[in-house]
């Protein structure tokens, strides 16, 4: 049985957006962990897995799990987690855009995985900046 959100999230639209953000953050964590698993499996092939892929893939996997945990707390109504998530998700989107824009910095397969993560995070950022969500976490 799924846990209920905090009663502090009373607006149905905000509740729905926070739930969707939590689901998308779960997807981000899943893609990131699966990408790290692929890195481990193909680590013997330097054309597929470079040192940069190892480093960035490991960082993304850890960051995604932390971001997911913060997102769960936010969806329960934590104002501090909401602020943290906005900053962290936006910073991760910027990092992904930089990585995607540098030609030849990473193999294509890794850029595709990062692009998927970026799309999920952009959606989370948009959800957290929605009017009803901002109003839910406005200073009380």
| pLDDT tens track for 19-73 | 999 999 999 999 999 999 999 999 999 989 999 999 999 999 999 999 999 999 9
Q: What is the pLDDT of residue 99?
A: 84
pTM of the model: 0.88
Contact 67, 92 (CB under 8 A): yes
Confidence of residue 140 (pLDDT cuts 50, 70, 90): low
- Tell me the chain's radius of gyration from C-alpha atoms: 16
Contact 93, 28 (CB under 8 A): no
Question: Helix crossing, 79-101 with 108-128: angle to 10°?
Answer: 150
- Residue 136's nearest CA partner among 96, 90, 57, 76 is 76
Number of neighbouring beta carbons within 10 Å of residue 10? 11
């Amino acid at each position: 049985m799924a846990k209920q959100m905090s009663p502090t999230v009373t607006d149905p639209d905000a509740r729905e957006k926070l739930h969707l953000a939590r689901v998308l953050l779960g997807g981000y964590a899943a893609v990131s962990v699966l990408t790290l698993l692929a890195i481990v499996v193909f680590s013997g092939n330097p054309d597929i897995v470079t040192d940069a892929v190892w480093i960035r893939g490991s960082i993304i996997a850890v960051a995604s799990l932390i971001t997911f945990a913060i997102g769960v707390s936010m969806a329960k109504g934590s104002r501090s987690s909401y602020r943290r998530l906005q900053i962290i998700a936006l910073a991760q989107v910027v990092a992904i855009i930089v990585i995607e824009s540098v030609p030849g910095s990473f193999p294509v397969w890794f850029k595709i995985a990062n692009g998927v993560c970026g799309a999920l995070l952009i959606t989370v950022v948009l959800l957290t900046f929605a009017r009803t969500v901002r109003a839910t976490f406005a200073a009380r």
